[in-house]
Amino acid sequence: MSAPLEKTQPPKVSEREARQVAEAAREQNWRKPSFAKELFLGRFRLDLIHPHPMPAGEDSRRGEEFLSKLRVFCETKVDGALIEREARIPDEVINGLKELGALGMKIDIKYGGLGLTQVYYNKALALVGSANPALGALLSAHQSIGVPQPLKLFGTQEQKDAFLPRLARTDISAFLLTEPDVGSDPARLATSAIPDGDSYILDGVKLWTTNGVVADLLVVMARVPKSDGHKGGITAFVVEAASEGITVENRNAFMGLRGLENGVTRFHQVRVPAANRIGPEGAGLKIALTTLNTGRLSLPAMCVGAGKWCLKIAREWSTVREQWGKPVARHEAVGAKISFIAATTFALEAVVDLSSQMADEDRNDIRIEAALAKLYGSEMAWLMADELVQIRGGRGFETADSLAARGERAVPAEQMLRDLRINRIFEGSTEIMHLLIAREAVDAHLAVAGDIIDPDKPLSAKAKAGANAAAFYARWLPKLVTGPGQLPRTYGEFHPPGYPDLSSHLRYVERSSRKLARSTFYAMSRWQGRMETKQGFLGRIVDIGAELFAMSAACVRAELLRTSEEYGHEAYQLADVFCRQSRIRVEELFTRLWSNTDDLDHKVVNGVLFGSYTWLEQGIVDPSGEGPWIADASPGPAERDNVHRPIR
């Protein structure tokens, strides 16, 4: 193997340059309508989600048939307690899933896959994840962000023919973007891909490679240097995991998801055919973000499964456990927690099913909806699991093995809490999701007024932007004053006789949507170019939007169930309770938009960083070990044994 003549070093980038890289990677245009985008602009487009879209009959038949087989497999072949104890999914379990076709749930039938819709793929992940969350993570990482989805969206026909049949039945895939010193800011990506004839030579280290320990095929993001005939930039490649020069240097261990096959992967002089490049050079981040538009839905789907399990355990335990002469569920303090779990599970399922069905129909742009589902699902599932632990008391803190050892039911509530915690970090942390969604939410404003606050734009561009902005806001702002939400009979079909009144909640959503848009406009007028630094404000704006989206989805789902299921009245009741709980949270968030401690917090942070409060740290012993905060990731040959463990 010939050595490349040059190497790329981790680029030194400013904050502005990093933002430019992220901006270039996002989808710039809105070719289809978006319910959530309109919601943030103060336009409540109920017609985009109601009547609730439904899957085709054949899709439902095939989906239900597979779910039936998968349920039997999970009940008879998956021992979640064993996976937790041994911190590893048995090979026979993974091979059993391969035989079921679970690796190819989202892969087209013509390539040997099952061709399930997004709706049924997510239902399958919720089912598998309830058996063991690490198992759900393995299947999700393989299909939601691993090789199949990028190839489906951006691959050549030759690539699809070569790889998809393998991925549908036998080969596990992984997605490799993160590096020891590069997370949600990919502008500093250091892994290099040097052109060398009809190949590229990869060098670098990737961190937190979910499925990387057992993977057969990898999607690798690497930086191609700009040169004659090469546009350069961050680029996506399909890489054979068994290639010479690839070493899995460590299998990482975590507080939860103990069966997760997550590692550190080193590339040293790894030759990858140019034919394995996905898309053109420089398109890697766009491919990754586009893949995540629907890929993110897998995570909240498993959060729905977690909510259902929390509700089941809370119900069963709270009717058996007595305190002061009655079941603990009859005490208001515990009952409120159970109500929260039930109502929130209903709303989460509504959000995921609605977003998934919209993804299947492909009539709407769901990039914001999917991001909101991921954000809201991960946060609310964590809260539900925390409430379950509280309801269980000391037994909630005790491990399932310990409970079983002393003769009680082995309920892994504390494990659920540990397993769910990563969801607030996976596939974009809550903080990053706030910024990502906020950027999309203000896109219409930046499209007409962005040049005004851009310091690099000339005065002529600012003047033109000013004229465009004046025209846009002259049309838009008057529409935020009044709307259907102020008319008492609007959305009357959501208040059928004998049912709770959901129409009032939809009117609230409409009014709050306009209020949210006004608040965003006021903030942009007040802070202008400094708006992007107001992350606390932007986070609250997004959280309000998430609640309004969840309320809308809950009401639409309740109406669907009223007309199609025998438990329609109960669905209306859950939607009503959820909306009432959500409205309290929304009002608090609106108050905190303008009444908060953001500026004071900033001063305290400066004091902490300058060492003004080191006296507060006295009186403890730090149990941390020695070593650097960030491990060295210099390119070069591996110095550790390869722990790669392909499953056959």
In angstroms, the CA 179 to CA 265 distance is 9
CA nearest to 387, candidates 431, 420, 410, 356: 420
Pairing, β 217-224 against β 173-176 = parallel
In angstroms, the CA 238 to CA 221 distance is 9
Contact 548, 578 (CB under 8 A): no
In angstroms, the CA 315 to CA 308 distance is 11
CA nearest to 163, candidates 238, 99, 246, 243: 238
Contact 189, 225 (CB under 8 A): no
Identity of the amino acid at 230? H
Catalytic residue among 179, 414, 427, 440: 427
H or E segment and range at residue 264: strand 262-273
Token output for 274 = 């140019």
Contact 243, 268 (CB under 8 A): no
Contact 167, 217 (CB under 8 A): yes
C-alpha dist (Å) from residue 267 to 209, 481, 639, 648:
13, 58, 12, 23
Query: Helices 535-564 and 430-441, interaxial angle, to 10°?
Result: 80
* Residue tagged 């159970």 (tokens): 338
Dihedral of alpha carbons 233, 235, 240, 242, sign: positive
CA nearest to 118, candidates 69, 163, 63: 63
CA nearest to 246, candidates 276, 263, 270: 270
Q: Is 427 a catalytic residue?
A: yes
H or E segment and range at residue 401: helix 400-405
Q: How far apart are the first and last CA of the chain?
A: 29
In angstroms, the CA 146 to CA 142 distance is 5
Token output for 389 = 């632990």
User: Known catalytic residues?
Assistant: 427
